[in-house]
A and B are shown apart, each in its own frame.
Chain A
Amino acid sequence: MNFLVCLKQVPDTETQIKVAPDGMSIVTDNIKWVMNPYDEYAVEEALRLKEKFGGDVTIIGVGPKRLTESIRTALAMGADKGILVDDPSVTGSDSLGTARVLAAVIKDLDYDIILCGKQGVDDDYGLVGSGLAELLDIPQISIVLKLEVSEDGSSVKAHREVEGGTLVIEASLPALITAQKGLNEPRYASLPGIMKAKKKPFDVKTLADLDLDASEVGESGAKIKIMQITPPKEREAGKIVEGETPQEKAANLARLLHEEAKLI
C-alpha cells in the first residue's frame, strides 16, 4: 500500500504572534516554524500503516523553501520520499488553492490512503483535506481518532468522536483521512533516521511542472480574502468575591454569575 501525507509549517506554539502594520498578516521575522502538530499525527499514522502493510510513505508540502526542513524531518521519522511545491505564485493561496496544488501533485501518484492533519493550528480553517478529497473525487473521513485498515487493504474504518459517543465510518480505498489529536503518539526523528533522510529522494516542483495555471492559485485564485487580523483582547483582572462568611461569599458569587457574567 502507498500512503501520502500532506503537511504544512506553522509558527511554534510558544511564538508571540504580532499583527503586522498592514493589519491583515502577522510579523514573521522572529517566528520559529515547526511542523503543524496535527500533521505530525498524520505522518506517524502513515508510518505505522507502512510498518503493518508495507509500501511507501510520500510527504507532500506546498510552501516556501523553509518547508524543506519539516519534510526532511518526516523523512527522518521514516517516510520514504518528499515532494515540495515551491513557487512564488502559490503565496497567498487560500485552502482551496492549496488543495488544487496538492491535487495536481497527487493525480499522477499511486496511493491508497492520503493523510492530512485535521487543520493547521495557524489559521484553523480545516479545509485543505476536504478540498483535496473533493478535487480527487475520493471519500474523506475527517477528525479521526482511530484508524483500522481491512486485512485485504480494500477499505478503512475510522473512529470519530461525537457528542456523547463514537462514530465508526467505513470507506473504500483510496480515501483521505484527517488526523485528530489522540490518533497516536508521534515518534521522534532519530539520529540514524536523520542520517538516512539525507539520501532519500526529494523533489522540488513548480506550477509549470504540475500543469497548473497561476491564476487558479495564490491571491488571484483565492475565494476568500482576509480583511483584518486583530489580537485577542487582553484578559481583564480577576475579581475577588467579598463576604464575611462562606455563605455570604457563595451568595455574592451566585449574584455576580447571574448579574454580571450572566452565566446563570
Chain B
Amino acid sequence: MDFSLSMEHDILRKSVRDFAEKEIKPVARDLDEREEFSYDTMNAMAGLGLFGMFVSEEYEGQGMDYMSYIIATEEIARVDGSHAATIAAANSLGIGPLYYYGNEAQKRKYLPKACRGETLWAFGLTEPNAGSDAGNTQTTAVLDGDEWVINGSKIFITNGTTDITAGVIVLSRSGTREDGRPELTSVIVERGTPGFEARTMHGKLMWRASDTSELYFDDCRVPKENLLGPIGHGFHQMLGTLDGGRLSLAAMGLGGAQGAFDMALKYSQERIQFGKPISTFQVNAFKLADMATEIECARLLLYKACWMRDNEQPIGKLAAMAKLYCSEVMGRCVDHAVQLHGGYGLMKEYDVERFYRDHKLLEIGEGTSEVQRIVISRLIEAV
C-alpha cells in the first residue's frame, strides 16, 4: 500500500492553505455576521483556480484529479465553511452535472465561464415536499412543441441567487415510468428566463456567507435543447452527482474537524488554569487525542474514496460512508473544541463558535446522516 500523496498534491495543499489563511480567514467572521456572500473572495478563489478543478483543460478546467479537488475543499473548510460550500456546490453540483452529462454544445457554452469562476451554476434538487424523498420531485417539465414548460419550486439551493449565477439545473418530473414511478429529467434553466424567479434565503444558522435560495418556476419555458442528457435519466444523474457531492461534503467535514482541532490544540496549550496549560490535564489531553485519531480515520476513508474514484472504481458505498463519518467526526470535534475553549468558545470573537454552527449542515445537506445509513445498509445488503 502506498499512502503518499503526489508532490503536486502537497504543493496544492500548501498553496490553498496559505491562501485560505491570508485571504479568507481574516474576513470570514465578519461575512458570517453580516450574512454576506463576498464577490471579492469569490474572485480571489477563481483566480487561484478553485473552479473546474476536475474539468479537462479543453473546457478551461484545471485538469486535476478528484483528490486535488477534495484537498482544496478540505483546506478552505479548515478556515471557513461558507467559502468551502460555495466551492463544493459550484464544482460538484453546478459544473459537475454540466461536465458529466452535458452535450458538446452545452459544455462549450457554459463550462469555460464557470471554470474561470465568472459564473456560478446551481443544482435544483430539494423541494419543500421532497427532501430525503428526492425521487418524489413535484416540479414538472412538459414538452410543448420545441419548448419545455417548467412548473414548481425548489428550496435550499446553494449559489442560486448570486449576482454571477448563470442558471440552474432543474430536476423535474417529465412523465411516469412504466413501473408507475416518476420519470425524472434534468433541464437547464438560464437566469433571466421568464417565469423563473430566485429568492435569497436569510436567517441561516450556518454557512451564512454562502448563497442559499428558493427557486420558483411558473410556466417557465426553455428551448427543447436545454435538456441535460437523455429524458428520464434525471434520477440516475442525481445519484451520480450526489456521489461526487458527498465527497466534497465529506471534505468539508474533514477540513472543519481539522480546523476545530487546530484551534482547540493551540488554545488549550496556551490557556493556563490551576497553574498549567489545560492541554496537560488528562481529561483534555484525551479529548485532543480522540479528535486527532478520528480525524486521521476520516482522512483515510475519504482519501480512499477519492482514490477509488480517480481509479474509476464504484464509490457509492464509500462516498456515503465518508460523508457520514467525516460530518459526524466534525460534530464531535467542534463539540470538544468549544468545550475546551470554555466561555470564550461561546463568543463570536472566537472562530470555533462559527465552526460549531457551520458543522450542523453537514449532517443534513446532500443526504442526511440517516439517508447515508440507508444507502450504506442497502449496499452491505443488510436490508
Contacts and interface: CB of A to CB of B under 8 A. Distances in A.
B7 interface: yes
Interface of B: 7-8, 10-12, 14-15, 18-19, 47-50, 53, 57, 62-64, 68, 72
Given A188-B48, A191-B68, A195-B63, 4 more contacts: A189-B15, A190-B48, A195-B62, A195-B64
Q: Which residue of B14, B19, B64 has the most chain A CB atoms within 10 A of its CB atom?
A: B14
Nearest to B62: A191
Contacts of B68: 191
Contacts of B57: 195
B64 A191 contact: yes
Output the residue of A68, A69, A190, A198 with the most chain B CB within 10 A: A190
Given A191-B62, A191-B68, A191-B72, A68 B7 contact: yes
B12 A194 contact: yes
A189 B15 CA distance: 6
Contacts, number: 50
17 contacts: A69-B7, A73-B11, A73-B15, A188-B19, A188-B48, A189-B11, A191-B12, A191-B50, A191-B62, A191-B64, A191-B68, A192-B62, A194-B12, A194-B64, A195-B62, A197-B11, A198-B8
Q: Which A-B residue pairs are the 8 nearest by beta carbons?
A: A191-B49, A189-B15, A191-B62, A190-B49, A188-B19, A192-B49, A188-B15, A73-B11
A188 B18 contact: yes
Interface of A: 34, 68-69, 72-73, 76, 188-195, 197-198
Chain A interface helix/strand/loop/mixed = helix
B48 A194 contact: no
Contacts of A197: 8, 11
B11 A76 contact: yes
Nearest to A69: B7
A123 B62 CA distance: 38
Find the residue from B11, B14, B64 having the highest chain A CB count within 10 A: B11
Contacts of A76: 11, 15
A192 B8 CA distance: 11
B7 A34 contact: no
A101 B19 CA distance: 34
Nearest to A32: B14
